[in-house]
Structure 1
């Protein structure tokens, strides 16, 4: 059996098979830059289907490839079981059976419900948020079928916002098929409204869902083109437009980093930084969490994505998570999640564990429902062997990595 972490094993078995990185990447439906990052230990493999594809092409047993027992292999998302009600709502298509609205909708109450869903999501209370989704979507769908709904711009904006937060949550929980469906419904309705904000919000969620589905080229094209369109209307007296454009540039920067395009990644961060300066504050317009601190956080994320762990740690010294507006718990935790990944890249697992514990203290579900975090923990467990600390082992249990 080849020794080392999964990236080293993939590299060894690839060379044994006489395959180039480009060839192997193509055979498993991934980019060459992704495989390069895996082999260099900058990115792990957080998907069991991908491991099975790699093992099939490389003609090795999956356990030999991952170097550990199956119970420590990527095993899906612990949130999947709680999605039954939401999946049922999407797959029943009740609207086809009963297309008539059931009565007047209290639009003020609906707006409050949608706002609460966004707030619960941003607080990283994903279990509570998923419990709100089916009822919220049922109400917003009924409201959109009213005789005057198509002319009610505020109601249609509410529809887009409801499906946007649904797509956010489903993407976070790894339900890619449902996330794409929710983002598509938001996008279709946004195209009927004369609103760059609605189109930008919907586009952002389509981008996130496409990334989760490994459609990075399509995601990048949409993110950049929509960012350019929305930014054309950005002015200091239009903070929501500024925020949506900035959020799109941030996700576009992350995509560039994933394909190791350093120049594009930093250039897009600079465009976001300019918009953050135009905004002039850390805010949360259109539920984007956009502002100067979020741009700084994304600089850490981009550096980590490209394997510049030392740069990520250096940049973190300039980030104060307390600057995020109240309620953005997930953003505060993300600083520590990025630093945990950076320290793990440096093989400083004790520091990585401390950052994961701090992220868990800040937002427990941001750790438990994060596939990258779970695979990061698996890699550290594999490296530590019998010398693993009780802190890491206990964290692995709480994150659902081991029983």
Structure 2
């Protein structure tokens, strides 16, 4: 059965004057993959990146708009139950008179900020269950505080709620609850903008661009990040580390979206701008609450290496993975990136090893990530892709570590 994706690939292939065999050759894919896609099959986004590059179009041009397939399963049912309280706090039932929200006692604004800081620390420690338990009360308390205060105190309460929503948006994006995450982030951006907290609003945009990127909305992620970066562009001689870091993170978002959307020239320019911000910082910055992520020279290099992985340059990934700014000495001097950024980098390294046939090296990377970021890795499709491909390509008997990791990630052969 033909689909929108199949029709788009076929249309662009014919416009380029290519046969299925020629397109497969140019994209470095098997002709079977091209045939499957043109017959209505599905593929990873990475495969579509390769086809888009071969066809000279943006990856977004290949995406189709059609009714989605059902993906409901046991995990979806579990998530629905686990997030019920958070969903009620973030999205209360709305009637004609007012939202049907659970009553909450107004909390001290300082207590709300303290809880946000606690939740932020739990998030970076991969304690996602603890974050999920903390957020419902935090959202209800911050909403009640706004209703009970006036004047400057009300403004402080609005900022506290903005921070609570940013934490919710970050957590929900990480666990792939995208619609809820969008609601939290967009509301945080609105509140920050209305209270004149421009840097906080820009931090929310960084998070929203990450969400859009995860949804393969490359055009929107790229444009939103670039527009916001222009709006907060700092004076290098007087900018605070937090402003430089947020500005640099926005350019990382531009680069990540454009390289996936087959816009290499824009990606290269965005990487240059991010490197400028990183050079001005000279060290990794994570000055919460002014800056909610992590950015600096090492992070900028990690993301540049990620581009090589997206482009399928496995040897390039391994050449730079533990050298220069990513060498042990440089990481000690400049500081280590956030755990998620470093973990994603090591997944790229694992994928590169697997591509080049080094199964044990790929497993070593996965095992190390399980030891250091066990909760995080279970939310990473890349980890499952690497493990799944290893199971498919390994000729010898699986080791105990391989069987254990496959079970941990929920991957079957």
TM-score class, shorter-chain normalisation, is 0.7 to 0.9
Which residue matches 1:184? 186
Bigger relative CO (Cα 8 Å, ≥ 6 apart):
1
Q: Deviations over 1:298-335 (max 9, x none)?
A: 11212212212222222222314556768943344333
Which residue matches 2:365? 355
Gaps of 5+ in 2: 1-28, 55-63
Which residue matches 1:339? 349
Give the C-alpha shift of residue 101 in structure 1.
Answer: 8.1
In structure 2, relative to structure 1, the CA distance for the partners of 1:217 and 1:331 (3 Å cut) is closer
If the length of structure 1 is used for normalisation, what is the TM-score?
A: 0.78
Give the C-alpha shift of residue 238 in structure 1.
Answer: 1.4
Matched, 1:12 2:17: no
Separation in structure 1 between the aligned mates of residue 358 and residue 376 of structure 2, nearest angstrom: 22
Which has the greater radius of gyration?
Answer: 2
Which residue matches 2:60? none
After TM superposition, the structure 1 = structure 2 runs for residues 180-259 of structure 1, keeping only pairs within 5 Å, are: 180-232=182-234, 235-259=237-261
Give the C-alpha shift of residue 104 in structure 1.
Answer: 4.2
If the length of structure 2 is used for normalisation, what is the TM-score?
A: 0.76
Stretch of structure 1 that moved more, 364-373 or 334-343 = 334-343
Any conservation in 2 of the 1:101–1:145 contact (CA below 8 Å)? no
Aligned match of 1:380 in 384, 387, 390? 390
Stretch of structure 1 that moved more, 135-144 or 241-250 = 135-144
Give the C-alpha shift of residue 260 in structure 1.
Answer: 3.0
Separation in structure 2 between the aligned mates of residue 325 and residue 212 of structure 1, nearest angstrom: 27
Give the C-alpha shift of residue 211 in structure 1.
Answer: 2.1
In structure 2, relative to structure 1, the CA distance for the partners of 1:335 and 1:193 (3 Å cut) is same
Could you say what the CA RMSD is over the residues aligned between the two structures, in angstroms? 3.8
After TM superposition, the structure 1 = structure 2 runs for residues 3-402 of structure 1, keeping only pairs within 5 Å, are: 8=30, 9-14=32-37, 17=39, 33-34=48-49, 36=51, 82-93=82-93, 96-97=98-99, 103-148=105-150, 152-232=154-234, 235-285=237-287, 286-317=291-322, 318=324, 319=326, 320=328, 328-384=338-394, 387-402=397-412
Separation in structure 2 between the aligned mates of residue 271 and residue 38 of structure 1, nearest angstrom: 24
Which residue matches 2:9? none
Separation in structure 2 between the aligned mates of residue 351 and residue 145 of structure 1, nearest angstrom: 56
Secondary structure of the residue aligned to 1:145 is helix
Give the C-alpha shift of residue 222 in structure 1.
Answer: 0.3
Q: Deviations over 1:45-69 (max 9, x none)?
A: xxxxx9x989x9xxxxxxxxxxxxx
Separation in structure 2 between the aligned mates of residue 36 and residue 262 of structure 1, nearest angstrom: 15
